[in-house]
Amino acid sequence: MEKPNSVLVLAAGSLGDALLTLPALKALQSRSNITVAGTQPYLELGAKLLGVDQVIPLDPLLQILFSSGPGDSQKDFWVQFREIFVFFKDKDEVILENLAKLSGAKVQFPSKPFREFLKEARWAAEYWLETAFQCPLAPDSPFRQARLQLDASTQKKGKEILDSLKLKNPLVIHPGSGSPAKNAPLAFFRNAAERAVRESQKQVLVVWGEAEEKNMETIRNAFEGLKDVVFAQGIFPLPDLAGVFSQSAAFLGNDSGVTHMASACGLRTFAVFQTTDSRVWGPQEAVILAAMKNLYT
């Protein structure tokens, strides 16, 4: 069945925020052709992984919307969309006013402020799902288990990366996050790596991102001398990281965007939540824990 006219989604946020909008994007894509105008994490993930038609930068559109609004030179872009969904946590009246000037486009915005939604202690992804559907979603809806699209080329690249590191089906550990307060002690992750090797005969890959760069030596030293534990030499681009996840046994990490990504790749995910509410911010299919126990049972 041919899909109706295109839909534009304006979306901002970190990697974790982007992946919490994935169920809503999948829901919209099931009935329309979707263009996502997003921040850097959306651009890095790309249309293929997100399973949408295209991903474009958000900033140029915001510059238009924060100015005098779209002029004649931009109308060819805007008129192709029958609906525009604004996936922002805070409503901006200037943006809404200028979007309202776009002929033929119905603008959809969350029905309540995000701070009010948080008081309900529900999964954050439901905020965007309800924006997409304009009503609550059934508890058994398949869109709640939305995943990234891991095609054969992505999986092949992941295998090539692991082969180059002499790893097969490893446990992946990400011991950092965007906030030090969220992080479990490095000793916890070292112990997890030791147990994975000793009790389950698993190899371990330790990955890291920009948030960990300033503490690299400390993190590296925490895993120093461990058998069958490999420390990634650089930051994996998100498509490559998705490929690695597709070829791994399990993942252990803090409340972070990388943890959300592991879960969204269908990898068995163990997430440590210390200062944030896992009911709101946790991946829906992750195991929430404060200590690593019976990881492969």
pLDDT of residue 284 exceeding 70, the answer is: yes
What confidence tens digit (pLDDT) does each residue in 93-145 have? 888 888 877 666 789 999 899 999 999 999 999 999 999 987 666 777 777 78
| Total length of the chain | 297
What confidence tens digit (pLDDT) does each residue in 39-89 have? 999 999 999 999 999 999 999 999 888 876 555 556 678 888 989 999 999
Tell me if 187 sits within 8 A of 222, measured CB to CB: yes
pLDDT of residue 227 exceeding 80, the answer is: yes
Element housing 252 (H / E): strand 250-254
Report pLDDT for 99: 83
pLDDT of residue 1 exceeding 60, the answer is: no
Report pLDDT for 104: 67
d(CA 85, CA 220) in angstroms, rounded, equals 43
Report pLDDT for 238: 98
Report pLDDT for 69: 53
Q: pTM here?
A: 0.91
End-to-end Cα separation, the chain, in angstroms: 43
Residue type, 93: E
Reading across the β-sheet that carries 34-38, which strands appear in turn?
A: 54-57, 34-38, 6-11, 81-87, 106-108
Q: What is the residue extent of each domain of the chain?
A: 6-145, 152-289
Residue 297 pLDDT level (bands cut at 50, 70, 90)? very low
CATH 1.10.10 fits 6-145, yes or no: no
Task: Find the largest Cα–Cα distance for the chain.
Answer: 66
**In the CATH hierarchy, which fold is given to the domain comprising 152-289?**
Rossmann fold (3.40.50)
Element housing 210 (H / E): none
Report pLDDT for 31: 87
pLDDT of residue 26 exceeding 90, the answer is: yes
b/e code 91-128 from CB counts within 10 Å (16+ = b):
eeeebeebbeebeebebbbbeeeeeebeeeeebbbbbb
pLDDT of residue 236 exceeding 90, the answer is: yes
Range list of H helices, the chain: 15-20, 22-29, 40-50, 59-66, 75-78, 93-100, 114-118, 125-133, 152-164, 186-200, 216-222, 238-246, 257-264, 278-281
Question: What's the mean pLDDT in 228-245?
Answer: 96
Cα-flanking dihedrals φ and ψ of residue 175, to 5°?
Answer: -85, 10
Question: What's the mean pLDDT in 31-35?
Answer: 93
Let me know if the fold of 6-145 is the same as that of 152-289. yes
- Which tokens sit at 184? 């479990």
pLDDT of residue 5 exceeding 80, the answer is: no
Long-range CB contacts (within 8 A, 24+) of 105-111:
105/8, 105/78, 105/79, 105/81, 106/82, 107/83, 108/83, 108/84, 108/132, 108/134, 109/85, 110/86
The two beta strands, 6-11 and 54-57, are unpaired
Report pLDDT for 79: 82
- Which tokens sit at 78? 């805007």
Task: Give the contacts of 30 (CB within 8 A, at least 6 positions apart).
Answer: 143
Question: What's the mean pLDDT in 239-259?
Answer: 97
Report pLDDT for 152: 98
What confidence tens digit (pLDDT) does each residue in 157-201 have? 999 999 999 999 999 999 999 999 999 999 999 999 999 999 999
More confident residue, 75 or 268: 268
Residue type, 206: V
